[in-house]
Amino acid sequence: MKKYIMFALSITFSASVFAENEIVFFKNETLDSCYKRTMSSAVQNCMIYLSENKKKEYEKQFNTLIKNATNEKEEFHNYNEFLNAINSSKKKWDEFVEDECLAEAYLDEKESFAFYTDKNACLVKAYNERIEFYKNYQF
């Protein structure tokens, strides 16, 4: 039993070190640079890394939009309604883009490298578009 627990712990620590190294490995990647990698799990992992980072950037930009709206609260005629609508819009957009990118990925063999690569590339493109939308939002 002790050997099993020690083995499980060593795997866990190895995986976290690998994940940390992977972050550094993919740090400056773009969609184009991911696609230039030889077709392997590196492309898939690169796309996963990019989509996770873009999602964080997207969430940050949304929070900035809300903060800017709050700072301009006195300029709004319907501030509370705006907040309700923008939050509802974000929730629906998040669901839409997840389904849209899954639909695109299902054109490939399910659970394959291509499936995850296409799904995450789609997410990166969608997050980029929505980030720009939030950056240029006019009150």
Instruction: Provide the residue ranges of all domains of the chain, joining segments of one domain with +.
Output: 30-135
Instruction: Report the C-alpha dihedral over residues 82, 83, 86, 91, rounded to 10 degrees.
Output: -150
CATH classification of 30-135 is 3.40.50.150, yes or no? no
DSSP alpha helix (H) spans, the chain: 2-25, 31-35, 41-71, 79-105, 113-135
CA-based nearest residue to 29, from 124, 105, 96: 124
Q: Say what the pLDDT of residue 7 is.
A: 44
Q: Give pLDDT, residue 6.
A: 45
Q: What is the pLDDT of residue 5?
A: 46
Mean pLDDT by 10 residues, the chain (139 residues): 46 43 56 60 82 97 97 94 98 98 96 91 97 94
pLDDT at 62: 99
